[in-house]
Amino acid sequence: IPQLLRELEEQGIRPLPIFINGVEAHTVVRDMLTTEHEQEARRRGDLQVDSLRPDAVVVDTIVNTIGFPLVGGPAGTMEAGRQQAVAKAILAAKNVPYFVAAPMLIQDLESWERNGMQGLQSVVLYALPELDGAIDTVTLGGLVRDDIYLIRERVLRLCSRIHRWVNLRRKPSAERRVAVMLYGFPPGVGATGTAALLNVPKSLELLLQSLRDAGYDLGDLAEGVDGQRIV
């Protein structure tokens, strides 16, 4: 932990380390951390979190290094239907990038370097955090015999991603660049923008309209968005 904090500080990030007695972290995030977005909402009378402490610290991002779901700890994954609403409410109120950055604890570094990440380990470090609401996940290291070893290159990658996500949030919407990818397989047979039981052109149209309303520059599409014509 001291090594991780030093690396973050050296990269221009001011960490606020929080140590919890156990694996349940959501009450700390809910009550002791706040954001500019949440404060602005509260000034408008929108109290999404009524238990927020007056001395809550304003943060730009939240990094989960324990690897467990934000709500429920290791059991949270088994109760996703019940815990999902709680996690969604907390993250929506904060509205900042939420990272999961943790070491591999199922496989060691030697096997990772030799064969890549194993299936179960990838589920724990990538799939489950995404379902938990994480916008990005970074593997920080792994096991060397019985010790957890931190890889500096991975920490630097985490720092870079934090900087980039925070800077992106601060950039005006009209200056952001967004790529929209559509399904198109097999190629050349009219399959572009198709999906079983889904209206892709209409979905694309609504997405682009939402981006336009949020201030994104759609160029020639600004005056009228026709999903069918685009596809």
Distance (Å, whole) CA 77 – CA 69 = 7
Contact (Cβ atoms closer than 8 angstroms) between residue 179 and residue 168: no
Quote the strand ranges of the chain, DSSP E. 33-34, 57-58, 62-64, 98-102, 136-139, 141-144, 147-150
Contact (Cβ atoms closer than 8 angstroms) between residue 135 and residue 98: yes
**Which pTM does this prediction carry?**
0.85
Contact (Cβ atoms closer than 8 angstroms) between residue 26 and residue 86: yes
Contact (Cβ atoms closer than 8 angstroms) between residue 97 and residue 137: no
Q: Under 8 Å CB-to-CB from 114, ≥6 apart: which residues?
A: none
Each domain of the chain, given as residue ranges in start order, spans 2-170, 175-230
- Label each residue of 45-67 as H, E or C: CCCCCCCCCCCCEECCCEEECCC
**Dihedrals φ, ψ of 62, to 5°?**
-125, 130
Each residue's pLDDT expressed in tens, for the chain with a length of 231 residues? 889 999 999 999 999 999 887 767 889 999 999 999 999 999 999 888 889 999 999 999 999 998 888 887 665 545 555 678 888 999 999 999 999 999 999 999 999 999 999 999 999 899 989 988 999 999 999 999 989 999 999 999 999 999 999 999 999 999 999 999 988 888 877 788 888 888 999 999 999 999 999 999 998 886 778 888 887
